[in-house]
A and B are shown apart, each in its own frame.
Chain A
Amino acid sequence: MSTNQRPFLQSPALEARSFATGTTAAASATATLAELADDAATGNPGQRMTLGKIVNDGLTFDRFASTYYIAAGAARFLRVCFEVESAYAAGLQTWLTVGLAIQDSAGNTVSPSSTAIPYGLKNDVDYSAWFNLGAAPRFASGQRPVFWLDVEALITAGLVAADAPWRFAWTISMHDANAYLRGLQVEERAQFLIDESAAFGQIPTDYLPRYAVVDGTPGGMQRLWETVRGGNVANLRTYHGMSRGDTSPWLVSATSFAPFGSDTESTGVAARYRVRGRRMRGATACPVRWCVLYKFTGGSAGQTATVKLTTGTGSTTVTVSWADNTTWYTSALVTGASLDNTTTHDDVVWSGLVSTSGPILSVAARYVFDDPSP
C-alpha cells in the first residue's frame, strides 16, 4: 500500500477545458485532479463538538456533559482543546481535571483507562488557572492544553464507526467553587497523509508523465470517483451542536409543543439558531439528521415525550418512552430533516412536549449533522 504526505493543504484550480473532448490528456491534469480529490475528501472535515462555560455550585464539584460525533472517515485525528479559568480575584490557584469516555450507539465503550484515550483526558492531570485582579485578564489566565484523539485507535479499541453517533461523555472535576471550564472544543483535523489502505484517497504519482496511468487495486484511477465522492458523503458538518451540563439541562413539561425553558428569545418564543446548509445541489434542501441526549423524570410506564426540530423546510420529531427517572439516554438518530437552501441561511428551532401533565423532559445535548445523499 502506498502513502502520500501532503506538504500543505491546497485546492488546486483545474479548469474544465483541461479535459475538453479532443484535448490531449496530460499527466499534470490527472495528477492535479488526484490532489483536488484528496482535498475534497479530507482537506476540510467539518464536524466539531463544543462545550460552553461549565461551573459548579460550590457543593458538588464534578460536572458531566456529552457531545456527539459520527466517524465517517474524513478525518483520522480529532483535536481536543479546553480552557481552564479561575474566578479567584487575588492570584490564588485552583485547578480541574477532565475525563473522557466514548460510547457508540450499540453500547461499545472506550473508558478513560483505555490506551486510546490520551493522558490528560483520564481525570489524571490537574490543569491550573490563576487570576490576578487588575493585571492578567481572566481570558488569558488559564491553560489551554491540546490533545489528539486517533479515530482509528478508538475503532481498534472497540468502537464501531457504523454505530453512529458516538457519545463523548466528559467529566470535569473542579477543585473548588472558583475553578471553571471556559469552553471545550473538539475539531476534526484535515488529513495530511493519504493512505491507499484507507477507504479513499488518491496518490498523485499514480499519474506520472510518460508512464502508464495506475489502474491497480485499490489505487489509481479506480479510486478517483470513490475519493471525490468522499468529499460529499464522508464530509459531515455539525450544523448545530449544543450541550449543557447534566445539572442544567433544557426542560419542558408542557403537553403541547413549547420551547424549552431558558431557550427563548422572548417570552414563549423559542430561540432560533441560524445555520447555513451545505449547497451541493443548488437550492435543493440540505438533508440532515439529529439526536438529543435526554432524561425523562417523574413519569410512569406508557408515558412519552417528544422533541421537535423545526427548520425552514418543516419539522421532524422523536418520541421517547419513560423508562426510569435517573438515566440519560441518546435518542434515535432522526433522519428525514433538511435545511432550506432557497435563501442564504436557515434557522434551527427546538421544542418539546410530554404526553401527560406532570413528568419533565430534560435535554442536555442537541446535535444536527449532515445526512448527504450519494
Chain B
Amino acid sequence: MSTITTASRWIALPTAAGAADRARKNQPADGALMQVLSSNATLACRENGLRTLWERGPAEVYLNTPSPHPDQPEWMPWNVQTETGYLIDYAGTHRVRSWGETGFSPRIVLATRGSVSSALYDLVIALYVLPLAGYPDNFTPYAVARTNSTSTADLVAVYTLTPEVISAGARHEVPSPGTSPPVPVTEMGPDAAVALYVGAYCTSNSSGQKALLGGLTIYLEEPA
C-alpha cells in the first residue's frame, strides 16, 4: 500500500522565529502544522540530493577505440600518452545517497550535444562509474549514448545507480582540518560516493573526419 509522505511541493509558512512563526514558543502544535513540516522536509531530502556534479567544455574527437576492439566503449584506452583525438576525463568522486525516504537510487546523467562529419560514423560518449577513484577497465560498468547525426543532436547517457554500487562506495571520513594548532574532531560518520569517468570517441578514426562535442554536464536526477 502506498503511503503519502510529501505533497511534492514546498508549502510556505510565516517566517521562522518571527512573531507569526507557527512553531513559536508556547504555540500549540497542531496536526496540520506537523503534516506541512514533514511534507516540506521530505521534499527537501529528495530534491537536495539531486545536483550537478561536473561539467566540461566542448571538444573534438576523432579516434576510435583501439583495434582489435573498435567501437567498444569498454576498451577506451585510459592509459594513452596523449588524450588528443579522444575525450578521456576524471569527473570527480561524488557523494551519493538514496532518493529521500524512498530507498530508490538516483540516476546519473551525462548530457551533451554533438555531431559527426558524415553519417557513416558514430560519435560515442560513455559514463563510467566506480565505487572508488582509480581508473576504469574493461569490466567497469558504463552507460553509453551515440549519434551519427551530421547536425548537432542531444547525447544523453543515463546510469541507474544501485544500492550495491552506493554501498560499495562507502567511506568513513573524519573531517580533521589540518590546521595549526590542531582542532579537535567534532563529528564523524559514514557516507558513500562514486567516482565518475567520461570517455568519448568517434568511429571515423581520422583527424580529417572530426566529431564535435558541445558542453558536457553530469548531474543526478530522480529515479525512473
Contact = CB atoms under 8 A, between A and B. Distances in A.
Contact of A224 (B23, B90, B191): B23
A192 B42 contact: no
B206 interface: no
Interface in A43-71: 43-46, 48, 50, 52-53
Centre residue among B21, B37, B39, B48 by max chain A CB count within 10 A: B48
Given A44-B45, A138-B79, A264-B58, A280 B9 contact: yes
Interface string B134-175: 111000000000000000100000000000000000000101
B188 A192 contact: yes
B90 A83 contact: yes
Contacts of B178: 118-120, 147-148
A14 B179 contact: no
A33 interface: yes
Contacts of B190: 8-9
A77 B186 CA distance: 11
A221 B29 contact: yes
A246 to B, nearest CB: 16
B9 to A, nearest CB: 5
B105 interface: no
Contacts of A44: 44-45, 48-49, 97
Contacts of A217: 25
B153 to A, nearest CB: 10
A9 B97 contact: yes
Contacts of A172: none
A199 to B, nearest CB: 10
A137 B79 contact: yes
A365 to B, nearest CB: 12
Contacts of B205: none
Given A89-B81, A148-B175, A226-B16, A16 B52 contact: no
Contacts of B180: 115, 119
B38 A14 contact: yes
Contact of B34 (A12, A29, A115, A229): A29
Given A13-B101, A79-B173, A263-B215, A7 B42 contact: no
Interface string B22-39: 111110011110110111
Interface in A180-195: 182-183, 185, 187, 189-193
Contacts of A147: 177-178
Contacts of A116: 177, 179
B42 A11 contact: yes
A8 B166 CA distance: 14
B38 A7 contact: no
A210 interface: no
A272 B89 contact: no
A16 B5 contact: yes
A374 B15 contact: yes
A213 to B, nearest CB: 8
A8 B178 CA distance: 24
Contacts of A79: 173, 175
Interface of A: 5-9, 11-23, 25, 29-30, 33, 36-37, 39-41, 43-46, 48, 50, 52-53, 76-77, 79, 81, 83, 87, 89, 115-120, 133-134, 136-140, 144, 146-150, 153, 182-183, 185, 187, 189-193, 213, 215, 217, 221-226, 228-229, 231-232, 235, 237-242, 262-266, 269, 271-276, 278-282, 344-345, 374
29 contacts: A5-B189, A9-B189, A11-B97, A11-B98, A14-B38, A15-B4, A18-B34, A21-B30, A37-B37, A39-B45, A40-B41, A40-B44, A76-B175, A83-B90, A119-B179, A139-B78, A139-B135, A182-B90, A192-B188, A213-B29, A215-B26, A222-B23, A222-B25, A238-B51, A262-B58, A269-B152, A274-B112, A275-B52, A278-B50
Given A14-B101, A278-B47, 11 more contacts: A6-B189, A14-B41, A115-B179, A139-B90, A139-B135, A213-B29, A223-B23, A225-B13, A231-B41, A240-B52, A280-B47
